[in-house]
Amino acid sequence: MSAAVLIDPSDESVIREVPDTPVEEVDAAVARAVRAQRGWAALAPADRAQALRRFADAVDGAVEELARLEVRNSGHPIGSARWEAGHVRDVLEYSAGFPERLNGRQIPVAGGLDVTFHEPIGVVGIIVPWNFPMTIAAWGFGPALAAGNAVILKPAEWTPLTALRLAELALASGLPEGLLQVLPGPGAVVGERLVAHPDVRKIVFTGSTETGRKVMAGCARHVKQVTLELGGKSANVVFADADLEAAAASAPGAVFDNAGQDCCARSRILVERRALDRFLELLEPAVKAVSVGRPGEESTEMGPLVSVAHRDKVRGYLELGTPVAFQGTAPEGPGFWVPPTVLLPGSRADRVVTEEIFGPVVSVLPFDDEADAIALANDTVYGLAGSIWTRDLGRAIRVSRAVEAGNLSVNSHSSVRYSTPFGGMKQSGIGRELGPDAAVAFTETKNVFLSNG
């Protein structure tokens, strides 16, 4: 049987092998999920809520263990990994509120009573990338389970360890067998089978736009529901009237967090031309101060890239010859390191400006006025996130309405809270996760008319 050999990205040591799931086992897992889902959906809403709270408690008790697994498997700094494990718990706790709040509607009609129900979809396939293995999985499985579905989760080939542990915690907390199954293996085998299997009624896919297109085409063949969370090339727009010190101090975190392997990374910093020199002067010490090093150390802010293949891809962008403004540091020796790097491209059409690099590389570009800033921010096929720095409230409102992206923040860089909706416009995706409506996305609306005749 084939297997993935997992490598610690910070020192290149072998962690362990994880066997791939064969296609027949995917089919067997779907059959188990179909059975488990029927029983789960038949539970009283309060009982489903209680079961999810117990799962959240189990995750809470394992935060440190999950965080250490992510440090080893993905190279995330320990502080970030603890936040991620805690976020999984929070998503589950928030989701535990859904079963008792999935209210339908009563619609005034002639001749009787009309009501709607949010019925579960059935079995949901969740396919996730390697950059935030456990948080992105939880955005899918928390609300999907809450709405009465069963879930089959396919982790990315390089990073299955936290997902596998979460499935064990789910069982240990009392969730029924078959309700949340994790099937590691290649996208071309396990992922494609989930997309093609007629009993998997919805796919939530997070990953590259290229693969997302294939997944959407596969879902179309079965007229299967699909949510897509895809790539990004988000803008951090800094106007000359902004608090430049605050904007520059926070810009490194907005793009170098998780070594830039973040779909929301603000990887284009757009600065009003008259403030450009001052902004770069303030940005340089902030970039050089980013603490890049061993992910297990408490003081580390940025770790290595996830794999040698990905490190080489990111380095390829640095070899295109775009002028480098300045760089931070990175350890020597084994591990997949790239230092935080700030580029000053000569053209808005440079590949480093238009393509998602998914590494610790940011391009700084000047703009002339508000209209130019909006045009430049929108000059991308993506539309996931972005930030706007200004002291002018009217401008903050105008620009945040004009930028075509699903998640914007003004005078900050926040993108993800479990209680607010998250997702992309344009080629960054379709549908939304998280927030008050998260569970509705895992339901079918059924309308029932009861005649009074």
| Residues with a known catalytic role | 229, 263
CB-wise, 32 or 426, nearer to ligand NAD?
426
Site for ligand NAD in 423-452 (CB under 6 A): 424, 428-429
CB-wise, 210 or 281, nearer to ligand NAD?
210
Q: What is the DSSP string of 124-159?
A: EEEE--SSSHHHHHHHHHHHHHHTT-EEEEE--TT-
CB-wise, 120 or 207, nearer to ligand NAD?
207
Q: Please state, in angstroms and rounded to a whole number, the distance separating the CA atoms of residues 453 and 5.
A: 67
Q: Please state, in angstroms and rounded to a whole number, the distance separating the CA atoms of residues 408 and 239.
A: 15
Question: CB-based burial of residue 22 (10 Å sphere; 0-12 exposed, 13-18 middle, 19+ buried)?
Answer: middle
Could you give the residue ranges of the DSSP H alpha helices within 6-110?
A: 23-42, 45-61, 63-74, 78-95
Q: Please state, in angstroms and rounded to a whole number, the distance separating the CA atoms of residues 69 and 422.
A: 26
| Region binding ligand NAD by CB under 6 A among candidate stretches 86-94, 154-162, 333-341, 444-452 | 154-162
CA 28 from chain centre, in angstroms, equals 28
- The pair of structure tokens assigned to 421 is 């909706």
Nearest to 167 by CA among 293, 18, 281: 18
In the chain, the amino acid numbered 60 is D
Print the SS3 string covering 90-133.
HHHHHHCCCCCCCCCCEECCCCEEEEEEEEECCEEEEECCCCCH
Q: Please state, in angstroms and rounded to a whole number, the distance separating the CA atoms of residues 170 and 56.
A: 9
Q: In residues, how long is the chain?
A: 453
Q: Is 383 in the site for ligand NAD (CB under 6 A)?
A: no
Q: Is 187 in the site for ligand NAD (CB under 6 A)?
A: yes
Which residue among 9, 77, 129, 252 contacts ligand NAD (CB under 6 A)? Answer: 129
Which residue among 48, 356, 367, 434 contacts ligand NAD (CB under 6 A)? Answer: 356
Q: Are 280 and 303 in contact (CB under 8 A)?
A: no
Which residue among 59, 183, 230, 441 contacts ligand NAD (CB under 6 A)? Answer: 230
Q: CA 34 → CA 44, 51, 75, 119, distances in Å? A: 18, 19, 36, 15
Closest residue to ligand NAD: CB criterion: 187
Closest approach of ligand NAD to the CB of residue 295, in Å: 19
CB-wise, 143 or 293, nearer to ligand NAD?
143
Site for ligand NAD in 244-283 (CB under 6 A): 263
Which residue among 229, 257, 272, 301 contacts ligand NAD (CB under 6 A)? Answer: 229
CB-wise, 93 or 356, nearer to ligand NAD?
356
Closest approach of ligand NAD to the CB of residue 247, in Å: 24
**On the CB side of 354, how many CA atoms lie within 13 Å of its CA?**
8
CB-wise, 188 or 289, nearer to ligand NAD?
188
CB-wise, 366 or 431, nearer to ligand NAD?
431
Closest approach of ligand NAD to the CB of residue 113, in Å: 40
Closest approach of ligand NAD to the CB of residue 353, in Å: 16
Q: Is 305 in the site for ligand NAD (CB under 6 A)?
A: no
Which residue among 116, 208, 378, 414 contacts ligand NAD (CB under 6 A)? Answer: 208
Give the footprint of ligand NAD on this chain (CB under 6 A): 127-131, 136, 154, 156-157, 187-188, 191-192, 195, 206-208, 211, 214-215, 229-232, 263, 356, 358, 384, 424, 428-429
